[in-house]
């Protein structure tokens, strides 16, 4: 290239650059498109209903801890905490809490929810959805095992009512692993996501997933397509822990599908066997991005896999009270302390079968954590102080399986509160204790013992009214020396064939199908 041509070329670039600068100054730089602000409504209405327990769950029970609130949004935990975190990370999203009920008194020890209560709280959510809208989406943090008098599938009904209020916008739902659901919920919502771990370590993660899919759906980058299968298998909660087989393999298979097809979400609800409802039992729910064939393929594969495992999943046998206590005492003598006895079948919290058997077999250094006995607790609060000698009957009346009242002669060691519940401790015999509460308390962490000044190193046996959640704080931490799941009488038995079902499907294994 000649020097003359090179100078001409440079001059051309200078002239073009100068002209472009003048244009930009005159007309301004083109602005990047501003991100649209999204408004997402958030509500929660959660209950795991043991329909075999006595009584009912009324408005009074729902408001025992306070009236409905919007403050539930101020959390950094669970489904809502995870959902919030992703929305905050994305930015420019307004989360609008809709007034929702708090936890019901007694948790899953509560029986059928009254239709009056369901209508009140679903009505609050729906009316605020109408009043505070319009919204770009709705997030509902539910449980899935709610049972309501006169409403066969309450979560689906709630979503239908919300849908009628907000119109055709994305509605995303998160559920507990114990959910009893079917196609009706999938037809009412746009996408359903269920936690995969029991104990439920991944509720926060599940909320994050719901938020990401929600945002992409609002932006038009994702079109949720769902496929649902009912597997025809019902299992007791005590066999559903995902740290053991076959629950572990079922959830791992779901994760393999998700890894193979990014943007696909494979949920399995093992179900809640202690609700006598038509959609009881395991459910597979698959969400894909506009790929129905893939969703159906995965849902069928997961359903077939669970069916193949039905015998080992639903047919295990556990020791009864006398044998289980004897095994626990033997393990303690062998130094496998503390031995955890999971009194998994006691759904109301006041059963004395294991306490009575521990005393009869001469067990030492044991603690029952906890025993529900509101009458005894009121008497202790009214008549005794810490250090007083006491002779009192405990438990034996919470339901027809509660056993006999057990007479305890000992000393009042503690009177006070733990969390939001009153609590008392009686010490008796050879360093034995009973922790008394007014409602069923499922102890999942050892923090209770620290708060009550009970040295875990002194305990040989700990009785917990829990099925699997206790593994979070006592097994996964390496604390327990041994674990025994004992099938004492109660409304939560391992053998589901003994329960008086009336409303469940007539072809579900192992209740009706024996193959």
Do 379 and 416 lie in one domain? The reply is: yes
Do 310 and 329 lie in one domain? The reply is: no
Helix (H) or strand (E) holding 220: none
Per the structure, how many domains does the chain have? 2
Cα angle for residues 430, 432, 436 (degrees, 5° grid): 155
Name the token pair of 41: 């409504």
Q: Residue 12: which pLDDT band, with cuts at 50, 70 and 90? A: very low
Q: Which residues contact 262 (CB under 8 A, 6 or more apart)?
A: none
User: Which residue is listed with tokens 């602005």?
Assistant: 31
Neighbours of 367 (CB within 10 A): 25
Residue 239 lies in a domain: yes
Per-residue confidence (pLDDT) for residue 108, from 0 to 100 = 87
Query: pTM of the entire structure?
Result: 0.90
- Residue 27: pLDDT above 70? no
Do 343 and 291 lie in one domain? The reply is: no
Q: What SS3 class is residue 141? A: strand
> What's the gap between Cα 131 and its chain centre?
30
Per-residue confidence (pLDDT) for residue 16, from 0 to 100 = 45
Stretch 458-463: mean pLDDT, rounded? 97
Per-residue DSSP letter, 34? P
Secondary structure, 3-state, 274-318: CCCCCCCCCEEEEEEECCHHHHHHHHHHHHHHHHHCHHHHHCCCC
Judge contact between 179 and 86, C-beta under 8 A: no
Do 81 and 172 lie in one domain? The reply is: yes
Stretch 282-308: mean pLDDT, rounded? 98
Range of the domain at 462: 321-493
Judge contact between 192 and 230, C-beta under 8 A: no
Do 78 and 119 lie in one domain? The reply is: yes
Do 165 and 308 lie in one domain? The reply is: yes
- Residue 21: pLDDT above 90? no
Per-residue confidence (pLDDT) for residue 13, from 0 to 100 = 44
Per-residue confidence (pLDDT) for residue 1, from 0 to 100 = 43
**What sections of 196-283 are H helices per DSSP?**
203-218, 247-260
Per-residue confidence (pLDDT) for residue 20, from 0 to 100 = 43
Bridge partners, 162 (sequence order) = none
Do 239 and 264 lie in one domain? The reply is: yes
Judge contact between 424 and 368, C-beta under 8 A: no
Do 209 and 79 lie in one domain? The reply is: yes
User: What mean pLDDT, rounded, does the chain reach?
Assistant: 93
CA–CA dist 357, 392 (Å, integer): 18
Do 84 and 165 lie in one domain? The reply is: yes
Judge contact between 463 and 367, C-beta under 8 A: yes
Do 381 and 246 lie in one domain? The reply is: no
Q: What SS3 class is residue 389? A: strand
Most confident of 10-14, 33-37, 298-302: 298-302
Q: Which long-range contacts (CB under 8 A, 24 or more apart) does 253-259 make?
A: 253/301, 253/302, 253/305, 254/196, 254/302, 255/196, 257/286, 257/298, 257/301, 257/302
Do 98 and 83 lie in one domain? The reply is: yes
Q: Which tens digits make up the pLDDT trace of 364-413?
A: 999 999 999 999 999 999 999 999 999 999 999 999 999 999 999 999 99
Report the share of the chain in percent with pLDDT over 70: 93
Per-residue confidence (pLDDT) for residue 315, from 0 to 100 = 82
Neighbours of 225 (CB within 10 A): 19
Per-residue confidence (pLDDT) for residue 35, from 0 to 100 = 59
Q: Which of 265, 290, 314 is the last residue of a domain?
A: 314
- Residue 321: pLDDT above 70? yes
- Residue 5: pLDDT above 90? no
Per-residue confidence (pLDDT) for residue 2, from 0 to 100 = 44
Judge contact between 114 and 57, C-beta under 8 A: yes
Name the token pair of 216: 């992409």
Cα angle for residues 172, 186, 302 (degrees, 5° grid): 105
Per-residue confidence (pLDDT) for residue 300, from 0 to 100 = 98
What's 60's domain CATH number? 3.40.50.2300
Q: Which tens digits make up the pLDDT trace of 149-167?
A: 999 999 999 999 999 999 9
Judge contact between 145 and 273, C-beta under 8 A: no
Judge contact between 200 and 171, C-beta under 8 A: no
- Residue 22: pLDDT above 50? no
């Amino acid at each position: 290239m000649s020097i003359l041509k090179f100078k001409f070329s440079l001059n051309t670039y200078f002239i073009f650059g100068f002209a472009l600068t003048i244009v930009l100054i005159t007309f301004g730089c083109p602005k990047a498109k501003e991100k649209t602000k999204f408004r997402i409504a958030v509500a929660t209405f959660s209950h795991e209903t043991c329909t075999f327990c006595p009584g009912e769950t009324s408005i009074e029970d729902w408001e025992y801890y306070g009236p409905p609130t919007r403050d539930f949004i101020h959390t950094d935990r669970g489904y809502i905490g995870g959902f919030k975190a992703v929305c905050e990370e994305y930015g420019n999203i307004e989360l609008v809490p809709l007034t929702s009920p708090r936890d019901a008194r007694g948790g899953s020890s509560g029986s059928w929810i009254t239709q009056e209560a369901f209508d009140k709280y679903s009505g609050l959510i729906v009316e605020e959805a109408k009043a505070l809208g319009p919204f770009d989406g709705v997030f509902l943090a539910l449980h899935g095992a709610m049972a309501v008098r006169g409403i066969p599938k309450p979560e689906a009904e709630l979503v239908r009512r919300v849908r009628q209020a907000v119109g055709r916008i994305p509605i995303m739902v998160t559920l507990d692993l114990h959910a009893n659901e079917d196609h009706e919920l999938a037809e009412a919502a746009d996408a359903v996501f269920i936690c995969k771990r029991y104990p439920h370590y991944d509720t926060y993660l599940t909320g994050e997933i719901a938020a990401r899919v929600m945002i992409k759906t609002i932006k038009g980058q994702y079109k949720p397509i769902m496929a649902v299968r009912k597997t025809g298998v019902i299992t007791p909660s005590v066999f559903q822990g995902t740290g053991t087989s076959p629950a572990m393999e079922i959830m791992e298979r779901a994760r393999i599908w998700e890894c193979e097809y990014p943007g696909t979400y494979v949920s399995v609800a093992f179900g809640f066997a202690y609700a006598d409802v038509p959609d009881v039992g395991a459910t597979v729910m698959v969400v894909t991005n506009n790929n129905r064939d893939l969703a159906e393929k995965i849902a069928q594969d997961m359903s077939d896999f669970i069916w193949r495992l039905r015998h080992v999943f639903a047919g295990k046998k556990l020791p009864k009270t006398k044998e289980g206590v004897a095994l626990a005492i033997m393990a303690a003598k062998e130094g496998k302390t503390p031995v955890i006895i999971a009194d998994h079948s006691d759904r109301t919290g006041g059963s004395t079968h294991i306490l009575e058997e521990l005393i009869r077999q001469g067990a030492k250094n044991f603690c029952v954590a906890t025993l529900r006995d509101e009458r005894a607790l009121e008497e202790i609060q009214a008549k005794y102080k810490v250090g007083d000698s006491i002779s009192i009957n405990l438990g034996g009346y919470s339901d027809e399986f509660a056993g006999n009242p057990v007479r305890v002669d000992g000393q009042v060691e503690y009177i006070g509160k733990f969390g939001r519940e009153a609590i008392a401790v009686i010490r008796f015999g050879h360093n034995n204790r009973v922790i008394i509460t007014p409602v069923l308390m499922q102890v999942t962490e050892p923090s209770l013992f620290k708060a009550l000044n009970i040295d875990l190193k002194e305990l040989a046996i700990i009785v917990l009214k829990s099925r699997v959640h206790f593994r979070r704080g006592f097994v996964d931490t390496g604390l327990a020396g041994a674990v025994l799941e004992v099938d004492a009488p109660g409304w939560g038995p391992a053998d589901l064939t003994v329960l008086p079902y009336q409303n469940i499907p007539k072809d579900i294994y192992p209740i009706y199908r024996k193959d």
